[in-house]
Amino acid sequence: MAGEFGGVETREVMGDFDREFVGERRPRRPWLWALGGVVTASALWAAAVFLYGAGDRKPDMHGYQLGQDPCPSLQLKSIGAAIAPRESTTKVESGLLNHAVLDQIQCFIPLRSRAGAERSGNGWSIEYTVGITVALHKKTDPGAEFEARRGVTDLGVDPEAKLEIVPELGDKAYLLTWDEGDSELRVLEGGAVLTLRLSAFTVHQSDDRSEDEAGDGPDIPDLAPYQSAMISDMRDLMSSLKQ
């Protein structure tokens, strides 16, 4: 499917990642993706069913189970080593759905603040968070929807998005980067669709300074160096969900 999604740049990820990003970066706030993605995915799912048919054959679940919320026990060892460990004092926001046709979990995990070491003199710092989504489609094959969403971001179809295929991970996997401070790894394996999203954003600690004195925040770092860690932690997540 590489190159068939008009305007979306596609590369295959082999070893070190190509760190060249396409298009102008646009700052944004975290968690907007969780809102826009639901609406877009619903529309694309309807289109995919129309084009490909839902089919009567149940997808292979490959042993995946979501009997309980996995988010509290996720270690994120590779991302923790590369950036910072997960924040242990903050409650993880998550929601587990168990249904006859779909089991799903979504959670947001903040990493430990590095503000003490990295806060600039004007009060700005860079923080990181990880978003995890696991959807187990027990009745219908999600493959058509997975393909349809290859070039879709939380803001819709972005012609400037960068798509990199990740080999030897599930049935199909790719990294999608479309905005400054966000990189998302998406994996399809049978009826399971898993995503791991790493986000970086700026935070300003309010003080007695005026807004003008605070100045502009620091540049959001390139997340390409952390993509190998994302893949490693995704493998750990996939293994932990198989019985």
Q: Give the mean model confidence (pLDDT) for residues 88-112.
A: 89
What pLDDT does residue 204 have?
A: 78
Amino acid 214: pLDDT: 60
Provide the pLDDT confidence category of residue 167 given band limits of 50, 70 and 90: very high
For 170, phi then psi, to 5°, come to 60, -155
Q: How far is it, in rounded angstroms, from Cα 157 to Cα 212?
A: 36
The structure tokens listed for 170 are: 């599930």
More confident residue, 43 or 202: 202
Q: What is the pLDDT of residue 216?
A: 72
- For residue 190, the model assigns a pLDDT of 97
Q: Regarding predicted confidence, which is higher, 72 or 238?
A: 238
| pLDDT (tens digit per residue) in 214-243 | 667 788 888 999 999 999 999 999 999 997
Residue 198 has pLDDT above 50, yes or no: yes
**Per-residue pLDDT tens over the stretch 102-149:** 999 999 999 988 654 455 556 788 899 999 999 999 999 999 999 999
pTM of the model as a whole: 0.74
Q: How far is 81 from 210, CA to CA, in rounded Å? A: 36
Q: In this predicted structure, what is the pLDDT of residue 191?
A: 97
DSSP notation for 45-98: HHHHHHHH---SSPPP-TTB--SS--GGG---HHHHHHT-PBPSSSPPEEEEEE
**Partner residues linked to 109 by β-bridges:** 130
State the pLDDT at residue 206: 65
Q: In this structure, are strands 172-179 and 156-157 parallel, antiparallel, or unpaired?
A: unpaired
pLDDT confidence band for 91 (50 / 70 / 90): confident
Query: Is residue 6 scored above 60 in pLDDT?
Result: no
Contact call for residues 158 and 167 (beta carbons, < 8 A): no
> Looking at residues 64-84, what average pLDDT do you find?
93
Phi-psi region of 158 (alpha: psi -120 to 50; beta: other; left: phi over 0): beta
Phi, psi for 237 (deg, rounded to 5): -65, -45
List, for residues 13-68, the tens digit of each pLDDT value.
544 444 333 333 444 544 444 444 544 545 554 454 544 444 457 899 999 999 88
Quick check: 184 pLDDT over 60? yes
Q: How far apart are CA 129 and CA 97, in angstroms?
A: 22
Look over the chain and give the mean of its residue pLDDT values, rounded to a whole number.
Answer: 78
